[in-house]
Chains A and B, each alone.
Chain A
Amino acid sequence: KAGVTQTPRYLIKTRGQQVTLSCSPISGHRSVSWYQQTPGQGLQFLFEYFSETQRNKGNFPGRFSGRQFSNSRSEMNVSTLELGDSALYLCASSPFVPYNEQFFGPGTRLTVL
């Protein structure tokens, strides 16, 4: 099976712009989660989607949003970018079997100038 894919892999934006990141889960996986990874804060949970519904949301401002499509692909959007949004954004998919493994993508490296 192909692994989790994320596009684009690298992105450079300026403050105030918005950005959309995409994640394609492993075939058959219906749960998609997003994480932000920074050197200072480590890995922080953003949100989780299952069957097109947001099931959980982390402690991030409303500028961070996401959605999931009927084919389980997911997108996250960050509006009004700030310098502090520079990070590696990781997507993970899971077959939604309790306490099962989450499979991570390679991440999208976002740099905000």
Chain B
Amino acid sequence: AQRVTQPEKLLSVFKGAPVELKCNYSYSGSPELFWYVQYSRQRLQLLLRHISRESIKGFTADLNKGETSFHLKKPFAQEEDSAMYYCALMVGGSEKLVFGKGTKLTVNP
């Protein structure tokens, strides 16, 4: 069975502080992982995908197959980063996404 776990429902940091949103997965195949973000009153949208190995808005995420993790990191949080963040696993050979329950990030001034 496929499962994505985000252990923190809420995460609060101060502006300029580093932030790490945790994501662990369980999947027997080769994982393809994503981070989606939902800003207030906006649609769910892709933040980054592991296969691209890119940095978006200062965020990065590294796939660690040994620890089955895909944590999202940013060295200096900004107030505009406040949002709901979802880690998602794409099931091989399909467009099916398995989502974690999400972490609400609040960046305080």
Partners in one complex: yes
Chain A residues proximal to chain B, CB less than 8 Å: 3, 31, 33, 35, 42-45, 48, 50, 55-56, 58, 90, 92, 94, 96, 99, 101-106
Report how far A69 CA is from B95 CA in the complex, Å: 18
Interface majority SS (helix, strand, loop, mixed), chain A: strand
Cross-chain contact A42 with B99 (CB below 8 angstroms): yes
Cross-chain contact A45 with B97 (CB below 8 angstroms): yes
Cross-chain contact B96 with A45 (CB below 8 angstroms): yes
Report how far A56 CA is from B101 CA in the complex, Å: 21
Cross-chain contact B99 with A102 (CB below 8 angstroms): no
For A48, the chain B residues whose CB sits under 8 A away are: 94-96
Say how far A23's CB is from chain B's closest CB, in angstroms: 13
Q: Given A42-B101, A99-B51, A99-B90, is A94 in contact with B43 using a C-beta cutoff of 8 Å?
A: no
Q: Given A42-B101, A43-B86, A101-B49, is A96 in contact with B43 using a C-beta cutoff of 8 Å?
A: no
Report how far A16 CA is from B34 CA in the complex, Å: 37
Residue of A nearest to B90 (CB): A99
For A58, the chain B residues whose CB sits under 8 A away are: 96
Q: Contact mask B73-109 → A, CB, 8 Å, 1/0?
A: 0000000000000100011001111111110000000
B11 within 8 A of A: no
Cross-chain contact A106 with B90 (CB below 8 angstroms): no
Cross-chain contact B43 with A105 (CB below 8 angstroms): yes
Say how far B49's CB is from chain A's closest CB, in angstroms: 7
